[in-house]
Structure 1
Amino acid sequence: MFFDLTIRDFLDRAELVYPDRVAVVDEPDQPAPSWGSLTYRDMARLARAQAAGLDALGVPVGGRVAIVSHNAARLLVSFFGVSGWGRILVPVNFRLAPAEVRYIVEHSGADVLLVDPDLRHLLDTATAKHTFVLGEDDDAVFGSTAEPARWDGDEAATATLNYTSGTTARPKGVQLTHRNLWINATVFGLHTTLNDDDVLLHTLPMFHCNGWGMPYALTGLGGRHVVLRKVDGAEILRRIRDHGVTILCAAPAVVTAALDAAKDWEGEIPGRDRVRIVVAGAPPPTRTIQRVREELGWEFIQIYGLTETAPLLTVNRMRSEWAELDGTEQARLLGRAGAPAIGVRIAVDDGGEVLAQSNHNLDGYWENPQETARVQEGGWFHTGDGGTVHDGYLTIADRKKDVIITGGENVSSIEVEDALTSHPAVREVAVIGIPDEKWGELVTALVVTEDDTTTAEDLIGHCREHLAGYKCPKRVDFIDELPRTATGKIQKFKLREPFWRGQERQIH
């Protein structure tokens, strides 16, 4: 027997088995009216209403619905209300500059654009056939009482289109199918031992590779979602305490925020011996991992993956064989990217690049067959990262593709260089990532100027006119010339070397 796997399977089960259980606790402090607590019956009703509303607008199966939103129950519902009835959800990074959002909306061919109330200014530049402000236009978006048109399901159909910064200045649209997302969510839930008593705090932006699949996995198991709109260390600890949180997914910057907040926390740290924190983006230092386990008392789980892999490739979790080791050595072992997840094959080619095969690798890049063929050459996904495998565990050693990971977000150095070189005083520039305890990597510009009067503040301000704030350089150093090869190629490894000297790996 065979039938198609679709992401609606997760919501259908939750509604059937846990209809009256609280599904989501919405962010109370947001510009749109909070939805408060919703049961799984409520959540399924709203998803059907959203699908029926798209029917009424004439959005076809395969039509794209872009949404630019901070974490919110409305975004969580949209994962099902859009994709669950055959359309394609395009979750957009709310930190992007208006021009970047406009490009994604236009490139994806979105029929509908939904924006958070704080982001209504995006409607001045990004246009679609139908535009709505979440909260203000809820009657049109989630208010239908009709039954949505039937969709029989197709696991090979694209469910989400996730735009990611790569080595080119323009973001690429990653096509993830229902099968990709279904298998990723199931394998992720298995490796993190999700169950129906789990309470997930959404510290990870839901737009970020669909919250790594947790919106699907936890829903299918009937767990509770607690929405956090803005990352704040003390607020994370309060929500863990008040809602009985058991699991959260986070970039290294969130780990740092929680550790900083714990210093001033009165009483026992919330979640001790209960919370497990799943971290990806860039491996935290060994000492940070040790502090999470000892000072917070949380279980530390490391994963590695990319938006293109939906994202799970490897998992690193404490194992019984390490029990007799001291805390520092345990933390060091946990700092590796991890062992392949079930159903994933990892290899390293002769050039040191990490390759992956899995059932949740991307279907392709939207309208970019040439790049799709390149990254899938030979039947393997080419990650662009350099690494080694020892005893079955992958360690990422350096980044072969020129992407900086800062606060868990990918930043294309080429994109930042393009913005900087549009300033009339910049003769040439190289952008690199340097190690930073809080952000993982700090976006740093090494600049050769045409004059002696331009300041770092001038250039950072110029970048803010063209790029999202997190992409802008946090540090600008002025130098006389950039090192180049005989053929004129900039030797970034020479620029990185003094900053990374003494580091265990060329990624932080």
Structure 2
Amino acid sequence: MHRPLLVTEFLDRAREYYADDEAVIATTGERYTYGELADRADRFSAALQDRGIEKGDRVAVLDPNTHYHLEAAYGSMQVGAIHTPLNYRLTPDDFAYILADAGVDVIYADYEYAEKIEPIREEVPTETFITNDPDAVSGEWEDFEEVLESVDPEYDRPEMAENDVITINYTSGTTGDPKGVCRTHRCETIHAYLVAVHQEIADDDVYLWTLPMFHVNGWGHIYAVTGLGAKHVCTRGIDAEWLFETIREEDVSYLCAAPTVLNMLIDYYEDNDVETSGEHDVRIATAGSAPPEATIRTVEDEFGWYLKHVYGATETGPLITTSDARRTFEDDSSARFAVKKRQGLGFLGTEVRVVDEDGEDVPRDDETVGEVVVSGNQVMEEYWNKPEATEEAFTDRVEGYYHMGDLATVDENGMISIQDRKKDIIISGGENISSIELEDALFDHEAVGDVAVIPAPSDEWGETPKAFVVPANGDPENPPVSAEELTAYTREKLASYKAVRKIEYVEALPTTATGKVQKYELREREWKDEDRMVGQG
């Protein structure tokens, strides 16, 4: 039989089977059962309908990882409205563009970020403004709690189809205006199923929200964790001491963290005598650039956690691969670290290929570089109101596959390993140099706390590698190692033509809300006086 795949079924299942079980630990200290969470979401649904919101209307959520985000998301989707989460690190101008582009009718904004909406509220089509603390915000805002109290939890759920768009997730806009990634009930549901399987989520899990909920709907965890009846532990930010304390006190079993968050936890661990877990075993997922082997070793051997490295993009759900291929390593063998640095194997029902410029699969020699393309039910439907960008994303090298823009190799087991972004590959004197390979080498030096490598202009070579280094002592004016010593270090570890030629010490690297280094900011600064980059990055 055919049963439509709808995201509303995740909360429906939780309320049916786990109504009396704890669902959410709020940042404000309250604890809600799944019955209470569902009631609050139902009331938000009723309130939206009272304000004229119908199926297909857009409701934006600007919020850190609080229970309000979960309630507003499910409350919107239950009436067929399109959930539009916003990156809280953006500027008022960014929000003005997105709210207008999506035609947002209602916005719920956390009090800490509502001030970013105030300057542009007259420029956008949004008519209803709701916050969780109107006294902390200038302007006219409705109070979230009063909105819920003003209605009964009854609402009319419209008929919905699995191919209806139910979320729009905006990309960062690093190469132009942000693009709205349209995701249907079907692709969100299937992606959540895949997350549940590959991340091994169960109803006794306690999930700590270090990953932003706005980021592709928290990698699908707003669905998977809820539908399986596991517990959400909400956060308002990242603080290493608080994270370790919460992991112990709430007996956290699962969390996600970008490599930069892993480094933050490691730094705190090395400076403090700290217990890293409660009674539960802890597993952690990381994505983005592969963490250095030393990071994985510390997390697994010293923290005692189990690390999974995953990979994807906003347009793909996001998750499409995992390094968790246990037949390829022993849990107590150091050989596992090399495997876990790889982006890995495709998720169930997901075809991940690495193709050359002619669209042909590269050999499984772990040397030949091609672009990653993907086909799967979790891949986006389209970009909102951008048909040309949609067509380009699916037709560049291979028709019908989403093109990731990442360059990779494939080993004999079919596991991919990202070598670089197409725009980050360094073409120096005709030779291709992987910025990731150089970063890995520099990370191994004890005096390097963090690093990003980009192509820099060179009169002699066209491009040359430049490293922006955060010294381990945190002082860019007095780093514990000289630039000349780091150059020599990379020359010892890599082929001489790959050695880093330029080094700049900095206090911190620019990052996204998920901890991913924004290399485009470094590239733009480095190339502002040039007509073009050799590699067109």
Q: TM-score, structure 1 length as denominator?
A: 0.79
Deviation track 1:256-314 (CA, whole Å, cap 9, x = no partner) reads 11111212333532258711000012111111111111111100000000010111110
* One-letter amino acid matched to 2:237: K
CA distance in 1, matches of 2:35, 2:301: 40
The Cα shift of 1:153 comes to 2.1
Whether the 8 Å contact between 2:11 and 2:38 is mirrored in structure 1 is yes
CA distance in 1, matches of 2:15, 2:218: 21
* One-letter amino acid matched to 1:385: D
CA distance in 1, matches of 2:200, 2:48: 35
Whether the 8 Å contact between 2:323 and 2:344 is mirrored in structure 1 is yes
Whether the 8 Å contact between 1:301 and 1:318 is mirrored in structure 2 is no
CA distance in 1, matches of 2:527, 2:415: 42
Match of 1:108 among 102, 117, 138: 102
Structure 1 position 331 matched with structure 2 position 352: no
Q: Where does residue 346 of structure 1 map in the other structure? A: 352
Deviation track 1:180-199 (CA, whole Å, cap 9, x = no partner) reads 11000111110111111000
SS in 1 for 2:238: coil
CA distance in 1, matches of 2:147, 2:467: 44
The Cα shift of 1:125 comes to 2.6
Structure 1 position 153 matched with structure 2 position 160: yes
Whether the 8 Å contact between 1:49 and 1:145 is mirrored in structure 2 is yes
SS in 1 for 2:114: helix
The Cα shift of 1:133 comes to 1.7
Structure 1 position 316 matched with structure 2 position 311: no
Structure 1 position 280 matched with structure 2 position 301: no
SS in 2 for 1:122: coil
* One-letter amino acid matched to 1:355: V
Deviation track 1:92-135 (CA, whole Å, cap 9, x = no partner) reads 00011111111111111000111111122223233211112224
CA distance in 2, matches of 1:73, 1:480: 43
Whether the 8 Å contact between 1:272 and 1:298 is mirrored in structure 2 is no
Structure 1 position 88 matched with structure 2 position 82: yes
Cα 1:177–1:437, aligned 2, differ >3 Å: closer, same or farther? farther
CA distance in 2, matches of 1:324, 1:146: 49
Q: Where does residue 400 of structure 2 map in the other structure? A: 379
* One-letter amino acid matched to 1:336: R
Cα 1:50–1:434, aligned 2, differ >3 Å: closer, same or farther? farther
CA distance in 2, matches of 1:241, 1:76: 24
Match of 1:130 among 125, 128, 147: 128
Q: Where does residue 78 of structure 1 map in the other structure? A: 72
CA distance in 1, matches of 2:63, 2:525: 37
Deviation track 1:382-428 (CA, whole Å, cap 9, x = no partner) reads 1111112221111111101469999xxxx9x9xxxxxxxxxxxxxxx
SS in 2 for 1:356: strand
Structure 1 position 389 matched with structure 2 position 389: no
Structure 1 position 172 matched with structure 2 position 194: no
Q: Where does residue 201 of structure 2 map in the other structure? A: 194
Cα 1:209–1:480, aligned 2, differ >3 Å: closer, same or farther? closer
Q: Where does residue 420 of structure 1 map in the other structure? A: none
Cα 1:62–1:7, aligned 2, differ >3 Å: closer, same or farther? same
CA distance in 1, matches of 2:23, 2:245: 20
Q: Where does residue 398 of structure 1 map in the other structure? A: 420
Alignment of 1:62-73 (within 5 A): 62-73=56-67
SS in 2 for 1:235: helix
Alignment of 1:401-440 (within 5 A): 401=423, 434=467
Match of 1:260 among 239, 264, 267: 267
Whether the 8 Å contact between 2:80 and 2:166 is mirrored in structure 1 is yes
Q: TM-score, structure 2 length as denominator?
A: 0.75
Whether the 8 Å contact between 1:85 and 1:151 is mirrored in structure 2 is yes
SS in 2 for 1:379: coil
CA distance in 1, matches of 2:15, 2:214: 24
Q: Where does residue 533 of structure 2 map in the other structure? A: 490
Q: Where does residue 14 of structure 1 map in the other structure? A: 14
Whether the 8 Å contact between 1:185 and 1:214 is mirrored in structure 2 is yes
Match of 2:373 among 350, 355, 372: 355
Whether the 8 Å contact between 2:394 and 2:400 is mirrored in structure 1 is yes
Q: Where does residue 41 of structure 2 map in the other structure? A: 47
Q: Where does residue 170 of structure 2 map in the other structure? A: 163
The Cα shift of 1:482 comes to 6.1
Larger RCO: 1 or 2 (CA < 8 Å, sep 6+)? 1
* One-letter amino acid matched to 2:408: G
Alignment of 1:184-223 (within 5 A): 184-223=191-230
The Cα shift of 1:251 comes to 1.1
SS in 1 for 2:180: strand
Whether the 8 Å contact between 1:68 and 1:115 is mirrored in structure 2 is yes
- After TM superposition, the structure 1 stretch with the greater mean CA deviation from structure 2, 71-80 or 257-266, is 257-266
The Cα shift of 1:46 comes to 0.9
Cα 1:478–1:176, aligned 2, differ >3 Å: closer, same or farther? closer
CA distance in 1, matches of 2:520, 2:394: 32
Q: What RMSD, in angstroms, separates the aligned Cα atoms of the two structures?
A: 3.3
CA distance in 1, matches of 2:108, 2:188: 22
SS in 1 for 2:104: coil
CA distance in 2, matches of 1:180, 1:288: 33
Q: Where does residue 443 of structure 1 map in the other structure? A: none
Gaps of 5+ in 2: 135-142, 358-369, 426-434, 440-451, 455-462, 473-503, 511-515
* One-letter amino acid matched to 1:161: I
The Cα shift of 1:479 comes to 7.5
The Cα shift of 1:476 comes to 9.5
Cα 1:39–1:477, aligned 2, differ >3 Å: closer, same or farther? closer
Cα 1:476–1:344, aligned 2, differ >3 Å: closer, same or farther? closer
The Cα shift of 1:166 comes to 4.6
Cα 1:272–1:22, aligned 2, differ >3 Å: closer, same or farther? closer
The Cα shift of 1:435 comes to 6.6
SS in 2 for 1:376: helix
The number of equivalent residue pairs is 438
CA distance in 1, matches of 2:466, 2:282: 31
SS in 1 for 2:190: helix
CA distance in 1, matches of 2:517, 2:420: 22
The Cα shift of 1:61 comes to 0.4
Cα 1:360–1:476, aligned 2, differ >3 Å: closer, same or farther? closer
CA distance in 1, matches of 2:62, 2:296: 32
The Cα shift of 1:168 comes to 2.4
The Cα shift of 1:152 comes to 2.2
The Cα shift of 1:438 comes to 10
CA distance in 2, matches of 1:2, 1:15: 23
Q: Where does residue 118 of structure 1 map in the other structure? A: 112
